[in-house]
Amino acid sequence: MIKKHKKAKPLSYYRNKCDKLYQQIGRMLYDRCILGCDEYSTLHHFVKKSQSTELRYDLENGIPICNRHHCSIHQGKDDTVTGKIIFLKGKEWFDELMAKKRQGIGKYYGVAYYKKKLEDLKKIVDKY
């Protein structure tokens, strides 16, 4: 009997799994939009995923937000939303987030990184 080698899963497989777990954690932690709405829709990445892989799964970068405010941010309809978030979270939070963002510049984020993040996120889910 000839053994078939399992094809290695691509980076996107692990990244997608991590993304789903990150949002699941958001639903476990929050039930309201940070801006005072009764509803919660998503864990918004304050620092965009495209700008920092380092912060992609950092819960400090995840802002609990409703769909209306989330769309306002991404469609550029209301520039005050970002300012309100910074005001509510504080300058210290913002400065720490920017420092973490700078730490990730020039790093390589391969499959091993996402496998590790997947394990870390599963541990968080298990805690709740």
Average pLDDT over residues 98-113: 89
- Supply the pTM of this predicted model: 0.86
Which segment of 27-31, 57-61, 74-78, 115-119 scores lowest on mean pLDDT? 74-78
**Alpha carbon 22 to chain centroid, angstroms:** 6
Q: Is residue 115 part of a domain?
A: no
Angle, helices 80-89/67-75, rounded to nearest 10 degrees: 120
Amino acid at 21: L
Q: Is residue 2 part of a domain?
A: no
Q: Is residue 119 part of a domain?
A: no
Q: Is residue 8 part of a domain?
A: no
Over 80: is that where the pLDDT of 80 sits?
A: yes
Q: Is residue 77 part of a domain?
A: yes
Q: Is 90 left (phi over 0), alpha (psi -120 to 50) or beta?
A: left
Domain span holding position 85: 20-105
Q: Is residue 51 part of a domain?
A: yes
Angle, helices 80-89/91-103, rounded to nearest 10 degrees: 100
Distance in angstroms (rounded) separating the CA atoms of residues 25 and 122 = 9
Q: Is residue 93 part of a domain?
A: yes
Q: Which residue has the higher pLDDT, 4 or 36?
A: 36
Query: Domain count of the chain?
Result: 1
User: pLDDT tens for residues 41-74?
Assistant: 999 999 999 899 999 999 999 999 999 999 988 8
- Three-state SS at 64: strand
Q: Is residue 60 part of a domain?
A: yes
